[in-house]
């Protein structure tokens, strides 16, 4: 994840929660992509370091475990830059210009000049992030699959040019499709930091309740006596993700018959959210910033050891080692 601020419920349900579960069955590497943050925030990098610490606190609070997974900071593992540079040599420019998010972000982030080499090249850096660990799988939601596909193409092209003793150095990673439920923000659009409609996983109870109170509802339900439809209401969508089947029945019946008011319905949604958030927030309160930094530095050292193993093979495959050159 890019360190652009504290993580929100959308980040949790779409990624973090899955990652925590993956730790039981896979050897996992999770990182904070501070160089990726620079691709859009290069003009003002002042928030990247403080945000890195916040994201790390959120990772640990959600249940990522440094005993079972490697948690690290991208910029501490210089091999990411080296592999990105080398992959960039063989990656066609057209592939990068065609990445849908390239045009999309340029159009959406109009307050930033994204006509830069770094921004165009971010998918190459992303490919390096994955291929550096010779990963079997990349856990992503449906909307992220295209990114992994590009990484696979970058690897395929590399392997066409270079190999080591007839073997591929950069295996193509597979997509590990993980659930990413539709999670609306308080304005009904997809929950996203750029829309300013998020509920943070570190928001205290009164803030969560206040945000829920202002959340938009089924537009057809204007008066208390009007029946509504939870399927047309963002609060209904939250219930579908977080509430128990019993509560869901009450919501559907009460909303469609105008038997309940939206305020009551929202307070049930807040209860359900807080049930998920409370254990996370309790864990967050027990970790200091110093501990988070220490864990991140230690994880980065572990990641660098694994990354270097790959780079030894990559350098050799690309004939960048002098040992094979006859001197004289």
Query: In the complex, which residues of this chain contact ligand SF4 (CB under 6 A)?
Result: 217-218, 221, 228, 230, 233, 235-236, 251, 255, 260, 262, 265-266
**In angstroms, rounded to a whole number, what is the distance separating the alpha carbons of residues 146 and 104?**
14
Short-list 270, 214, 275, CA closest to 238: 270
**In angstroms, rounded to a whole number, what is the distance separating the alpha carbons of residues 4 and 205?**
23
Q: How far is the CB of 240 from ligand SF4 (least distance, A)?
A: 10
CA angle 83, 84, 87 (to 5 degrees): 80
Query: Per-residue DSSP letters for 99-160?
Result: -HHHHHHHHH-TTS---SHHHHTHHHHHHHHHHTTT-SEEEE-GGGHHHHHHHHHHHHHHHH
Q: How far is the CB of 235 from ligand SF4 (least distance, A)?
A: 4
Q: How far is the CB of 182 from ligand SF4 (least distance, A)?
A: 15
DSSP classification of residue 271? H
- Which is nearer to ligand SF4, 131 or 262 (by Cβ)? 262
Tokens 């340029």 identify what position? 106
> What separation, in Å, do the N-terminal and C-terminal C-alpha atoms of the chain show?
49
- Which is nearer to ligand SF4, 154 or 270 (by Cβ)? 270
Q: Enumerate residues 6+ apart whose C-beta is below 8 A from 131.
A: 83, 87, 151, 154, 155, 158, 170, 173, 310
Q: How far is the CB of 231 from ligand SF4 (least distance, A)?
A: 9
β partners of residue 177: 140
Q: How far is the CB of 259 from ligand SF4 (least distance, A)?
A: 9
Q: How far is the CB of 246 from ligand SF4 (least distance, A)?
A: 15
DSSP classification of residue 12? I
4 — phi, psi (to 5°)? -105, 5
Q: How far is the CB of 230 from ligand SF4 (least distance, A)?
A: 4
Alpha helices in the chain (DSSP H): 9-11, 17-22, 34-41, 48-62, 79-90, 93-97, 100-108, 117-120, 122-131, 145-161, 205-213, 234-242, 245-256, 262-286, 289-317
Q: How far is the CB of 217 from ligand SF4 (least distance, A)?
A: 4
């Amino acid at each position: 994840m890019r360190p652009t601020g504290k993580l929100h419920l959308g980040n949790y349900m779409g990624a973090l929660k899955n990652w925590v579960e993956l730790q039981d069955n896979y050897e996992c590497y999770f990182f904070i992509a501070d160089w990726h943050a620079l691709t859009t925030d290069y003009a003002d990098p002042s928030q990247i370091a403080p945000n890195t610490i916040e994201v790390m606190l959120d990772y640990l609070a959600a249940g990522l475990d440094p005993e079972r997974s490697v948690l690290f900071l991208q910029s501490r593992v210089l091999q990411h830059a080296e592999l990105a540079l080398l992959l960039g040599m063989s990656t066609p420019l057209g592939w990068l210009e065609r990445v849908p998010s390239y045009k999309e972000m340029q159009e959406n982030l109009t307050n930033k000049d994204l006509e830069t080499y770094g921004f165009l090249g971010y998918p190459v850096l992303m490919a390096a992030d994955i291929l550096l660990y010779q990963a079997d799988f990349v856990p992503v939601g449906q909307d992220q699959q295209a990114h992994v596909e590009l990484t696979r193409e970058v690897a395929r092209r590399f392997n066409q040019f270079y190999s080591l003793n007839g073997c591929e150095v950069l295996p193509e990673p597979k997509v590990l499709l993980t659930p990413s439920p539709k999670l609306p923000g308080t304005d009904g659009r997809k929950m996203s930091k750029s829309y300013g409609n998020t509920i943070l996983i570190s928001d205290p109870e009164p803030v969560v309740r206040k945000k829920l109170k202002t959340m938009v509802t089924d537009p057809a339900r204007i008066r208390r006596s009007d029946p509504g439809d939870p399927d047309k209401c963002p609060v209904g969508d939250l219930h579908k993700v977080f509430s128990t089947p019993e509560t869901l029945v009450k919501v559907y019946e009460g909303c469609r018959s105008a038997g309940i008011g939206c305020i009551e319905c929202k307070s049930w949604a807040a209860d359900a959210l807080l049930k998920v958030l409370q254990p996370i927030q309790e864990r967050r309160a027990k970790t200091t910033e110093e501990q988070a930094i220490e864990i991140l530095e230690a994880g980065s050292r572990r990641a660098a050891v694994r990354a270097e193993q790959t780079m030894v093979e990559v350098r050799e495959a690309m004939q960048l080692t002098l040992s094979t050159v006859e001197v004289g």
